[in-house]
Structure 1
Amino acid sequence: MAGAVVIGAGPGIGRAVAVRFAREGLPIALIARTGRTLRAAAEAVASHGVPVVTAAADSTDRDALGAALDEAVRAHGVPDVVVYNAALIQADAPGELSVRGHMEAWAVNVIGALAAAAHIAPAMAARGGGTFLVTGGMPEPKPEYVSLSLGKAGVRTLVTLLDQTYGPSGVHVASVTVAGPVAPGTAFDPDDIAEHYWRLHVQPRHRWEREALHDGGSR
């Protein structure tokens, strides 16, 4: 197995998803901004006895992100699944955030996912298969979270565009929409949410879904 790549492998969903795929025996590549985050995630994954590689990169730095993905490919081959979990989560009301602030949020929440897909999905398509998953949220926009609401709306459109581009070549593109605050021991426990990523990855092609919704009701 060529393994899984998790971009945004911090505590919460990213780490839980990495562990979930490691439980299935997949080699794991972890990408995050800081070495401290990567070390903690690698320790959680390594307990499952799978090969682990880490690479530090900011998701808004296209060159650095591309280099990190290339490192993952060198270590484990073209991945079976890539999960884009980076996000800038902040409270901001209409008119409160500067133009630069909105651009910075959009760069993390949407453009980083686009850059990752543009870099790695063509190789998946050339191979004839793979999964590219993006963490979504805000199924209903909230005026107290303007930049995040806009970003998650952008994720839905991006997933549609990527599906149209790479889906015919066998790449399953989908999002996992998380409709509440993530916290262990709650209806939005990251371990529960991680199950959606695995389920989407192993779906047969004739049953592919473009979005899985975690609304807390299944706990």
Structure 2
Amino acid sequence: MSRPVVVIVGAGPGVSGSVARKFADEGYDVALMGQDQGVLDDLAADVEGRGAACGHTVVDVTDEPAARAAVRRFGEHAGRIDVLHFNPSAFREKDPLQLSVDELLEDVRLGVGALLTVVQAARPFMSAGGRVSVTGSMAADEPWEGAASLGVQKAGVRNLVHSLDKTLSPDGIRAVSVTVRGALAKDGAFTPDGVAEALWAAVATDEGDWRSEVPYAG
């Protein structure tokens, strides 16, 4: 039997990198979608050093045809997608009086809309027991007005996860948003590795205890 496969959308050196390493350590092969080839190369080497196979591709996930094609290639190559992890969001330092409608929609297209794209592309390769996970944020409930679009993205993506979970659950596939209730830091409770552990715990939750939102307070 082939190893389980996690596809990480928005792969980079922070939380998503920690997620990649955590899943590799748990016996998963890893597929990475990101925007920086050098970052992906370094992360892939780290993952492969842990004994996992790792494919990676540079893609703009707001380019719907390109993002769908990338997910489909990973699914066809592995024959399965067991976990789809979604990490992207846009940080634009503008308050509501500075932020234009076009800028808001551009950010929502990345932080919310791209989740639809990748889930729809991954669904044919997912079966009962499959999971969709999203890096959430307390900005959904306590937005900083200085980056107004981020709170809208995080509230929107959490809402979408609830809908995805209800839609996918009859087929045994579940979705979860892990709401990080603190600021990421190199030390302390909110390190990327700590958040990755929380995401792993959420994905590994038994069906009977499943919740589509899990808070992580460190």
Matched residue type, 2:58:
A
1:39-118 to structure 2, matched below 5 A, reads 39-118=41-120
Moved more, 135-144 or 1-10: 135-144
Tell me which residue corresponds to 1:149: 151
Q: Is the 8 A contact 1:182 1:188 kept in 2?
A: yes
Tell me which residue corresponds to 2:195: 193
Tell me which residue corresponds to 2:35: 33
In structure 2, runs of 5+ residues without a counterpart are: none
Listed one character per residue, the Cα deviations across residues 175-200 of structure 1 (whole Å, up to 9, x for unaligned) are 11122332222321000100112112
In structure 1, runs of 5+ residues without a counterpart are: none
CA distance in structure 2 between the partners assigned to 1:78 and 1:8 by the alignment: 20
CA distance in structure 1 between the partners assigned to 2:182 and 2:96 by the alignment: 21
Q: Is the 8 A contact 1:110 1:154 kept in 2?
A: yes
Q: How far off its partner does 1:144 sit? A: 2.0
Q: Is the 8 A contact 2:7 2:85 kept in 1?
A: yes
Q: How far off its partner does 1:121 sit? A: 2.6
CA distance in structure 2 between the partners assigned to 1:164 and 1:203 by the alignment: 16
Tell me which residue corresponds to 1:134: 134
Q: Is the 8 A contact 1:12 1:182 kept in 2?
A: no
CA distance in structure 1 between the partners assigned to 2:213 and 2:46 by the alignment: 27
What is the aligned residue count?
A: 214
Sequence identity, in percent?
Answer: 35
CA distance in structure 2 between the partners assigned to 1:183 and 1:121 by the alignment: 34
Q: CA RMSD in A?
A: 1.4
CA distance in structure 1 between the partners assigned to 2:124 and 2:158 by the alignment: 20
User: TM-score, with normalisation over the residues of structure 2?
Assistant: 0.93
CA distance in structure 1 between the partners assigned to 2:128 and 2:27 by the alignment: 22
